[in-house]
Every structure is written in C-alpha cells, then in structure tokens.
Amino acid sequence: MANVVVVGAQWGDEGKGKIVDWLSEQADIVVRFQGGHNAGHTLVINGETYKLALLPSGVLRPSKLGVIGNGVVFDPQAFLDEVTRLKGQGVAISPENLRIAENVTLILPLHRELDALRESSNAGTAIGTTRRGIGPAYEDKVGRRAIRLMDLADLDALPHKIDRLLAHHNALRRGLGLEEFDGGVILKDLTALAPHLLPYAETVWRLLDLKRREGKRILFEGAQGALLDVDHGTYPYVTSSNTVAAQAATGSGLGPSAVGYVLGICKAYTTRVGQGPFPTELDNDIGRKIGERGREFGTNTGRPRRCGWFDAVLVRQAARTCGITGLALTKLDILDGFDTIEVCTGYMLDGKEIDHLPAGEGAQARVVPIYETIEGWKEPTANARSWADLPAQAIKYVRRVEELVGCPIALLSTSPEREDTILVQNPFEA
C-alpha cells in the first residue's frame, strides 16, 4: 500500500482540496507539509461549502488524524479563527484529531505587517503575495531567529528569543521610518496563546514514523503548485517554500522512502493569481468566460484569477520536477460547449522552438505558446461519474493531455462535489 503525495501541477488553485478530501476516505492520516494559511481549499460536501486554509482537508472526516508538519509556517490566530469557524459548521477539531509539529515556525503580527508593507511599496518589491506574513516567516526560519511552537512551552527562555528576533526586525523598521515593536507586547500575546496551542504540539516525525510502521496509510497534502516552488517555479513570482513532492519528506520529518505515489492535480485549463509570466493567458472574452464559469476567485483573498488554455509544457515540467506518477484532471466541465479548444504544446523563444519554460525571468516573459487546436464538445460533462458519462470528444481531449504531459490520468473531477469523481487508478493501490 503506497503513501500518497498530492501536489499542484500548475500555479495552485487546481482543486487539491476536493481530491485530498476524496482520497482521505482511504487514508488514516492527512499531513500538510508546507505553506501556510495562504493556501485556500474549498470543499463542497452534501451541498455544504467548507473553506480551509491552514488545516489539512482530512479534518472534515471524523475518523482521520490531521497533521500540520514542520515545513508549514503557522499563524496561531488564523488557526484559532479557522477552528472556531469550522466548529460552527459542526466539524470537531481537537488534539484528538489534529496534531501540530512542535518545531513549526510561527507567523507573528510583525510578519504580516512586513509582508503588506513590501506589497504596497513603490520600490519594486511587490510579487503578488497574499500579505499574510508567509514569506517573512520563512525568512526568519532560515535566518535561525524564528519563534517556534515548542518555544511557548518554555516561557522563561522566550524573552531572549524575542529579543533575537527583534534585533533583525526593529533594525528593518528603523530603516523604514516605522515604530519599533515592543518585545513585552509580543511576549504577553504569545503567553496568552500558549495554553490554546500547546495541547496540539507533537513530535510529528516520530508520530508519523510509528504510524507508518503500523501500516497506516498517510496522505501528504501540498499547498500552492509546483510552478510556485521557490527553486523550480517562475522565480521571483513564487511562494517562499518548496512546493514540489520531495518537500513532503522534508516538511514532515519522514524520509524519502516513505513517499510512494505522487498525484499531480491540474485543471483542464490554466489559472494564475497575482503577478508573473503566464504564456497561455487569455486577456479576452474567452478568458473571462472561463473565469466566470469556473468561479475563478481566490478562496482566501477573493482575487480574480487570470485564465488561459491548458499548458502541457508547464504540466509536463511539473511532472518531472515532482516525479508525478499520475494526474488528477479537474474542472473538465468548464470547457463544455466550446467549438474548439487550444492546448499549448511548446514555446517559441527568440525564434527558436523549445520544450520547457526557461528559468530566466526575462526569457519567461518572452516565450510565445505554440498551440494545437482540438475539437470541443457540446454535451455536458458536469457531474459525470464514469467514462460512459463523458462525450467522446471530451475523452479524446483527456487522452491528448495524457500524451502531451507523459503521465496517465488517475482521476477526473467533474464538479466541486465529493462524489462527482471518475476513478481510473487508485493511488493507494497502485
């Protein structure tokens, strides 16, 4: 029985939440391994809509254990707010069904303020972040000055750690002409949060190793998408963590041998939020039509997503950098009714044909997509639950995507509802 890693194969917003929720029925443990509460997942279950940001999607299933791994950056207030909201919808969240890595880095108000300041600046520092403090928190983590969850268990040592953090941040604030942060206020706030957070704290790497040895099935839930990876994405318009599948091991404390099947999630078209290159973007009526049909607005931010045709070059690239075993294709129904559909099969760059997105920012902006035209279909695919429910031309489109990406389709999603899913290959049994 393979453990399964779910990763986005585009720029995020591919529908990972629904797929993780669908797969979690077969899993014992669902683990978030990177990102923070900038990752919005919308799930529709029996007509009820649930919006998750920080919590693993598996928490919506009562018998499953959710885990927030060490690779996540953790906003305590956002966590408590999300738990309260979900409890209001009848979802029980407690240390019985959720554990948080004791060595997870905390997002503090100073991180959120710095993030927003950079995005609002006229100094060319804006990259389209969610202004939630994700990047600054990761900076402090690699700078070895972060406050971690375990630090709240030793309040006597916490003032020194806050001073170490503020030696950096207050120097920045002085340079920006801003008032310095008071370490005493941060200490007071963290002291008040400690009893609400520490019951969830866990030595996660040890817990997961024990569960794996017991034969429990583990589902690793990625956030964002592979094209937002800080190393392999469209840098600098990326997130501040590694979003590729290998991070499932690092961000949870399990070794690479614990990672089995890698399921890449991609839409039947392409979307992107924020700034950065987007070769197949449709800044026209077709793009707006796709956006309206697909309700392409950020779960957490409400920002409209940029829309374009399916880019097989980028998904193929993500399949290689993530080691994707199979694909889950979502939102096929949004393409219903188009006379023709374009698929990007390659790029032209400065007069030469290339088969990948180059790493350079300037080159990424200059690539021109090469399109293949595919006949559309008039019959609906929405709510289909078997191949027999799909129009023949829609099946041809799916098969062509498989060919171009070089990965088999394992799952097809035809609506936000949990049950509107066509299973081709079960990742847990592959």
Q: Which residue has the tokens 């402090």?
A: 140
Alpha-carbon 412 to chain mean position: 19
Rounded to whole angstroms, the Cα distance separating 209 from 357 reads 37
Q: Does residue 420 have an active-site annotation?
A: no
- The candidate with the shortest Cα–Cα distance to 279, out of 344, 373, 235, 332, is 344
DSSP secondary structure, 298-318, as one string? -TTT-PBPEEE-EEHHHHHHH
For residue 190, give Cα distances in angstroms to 56, 145, 154, 335.
24, 16, 11, 49
Rounded to whole angstroms, the Cα distance separating 417 from 44 reads 5
Alpha-carbon 78 to chain mean position: 17
Name residue 346's beta-bridge partners: 370
Q: Which of 41, 111, 169, 232 is catalytic?
A: 41
Structure tokens at 109: 């108000």
**Quick count: other Cβ atoms within 10 Å of Cβ 429?**
9
The type of residue at 179 is E
Rounded to whole angstroms, the Cα distance separating 169 from 175 reads 10
Q: Does residue 356 have an active-site annotation?
A: no
- The single-letter DSSP state of residue 312 is H
Q: At what angle do helices 158-175 and 109-120 cross, to 10 degrees?
A: 20
- The candidate with the shortest Cα–Cα distance to 144, out of 188, 99, 205, 103, is 103
For residue 15, give Cα distances in angstroms to 56, 127, 151, 175, 265.
14, 23, 35, 41, 7
Rounded to whole angstroms, the Cα distance separating 407 from 416 reads 23
Question: Three-class SS string for 153-175?
Answer: HCCCCHHHHHHHHHHHHHHHHHH
* Residue numbers annotated as active site: 13, 41
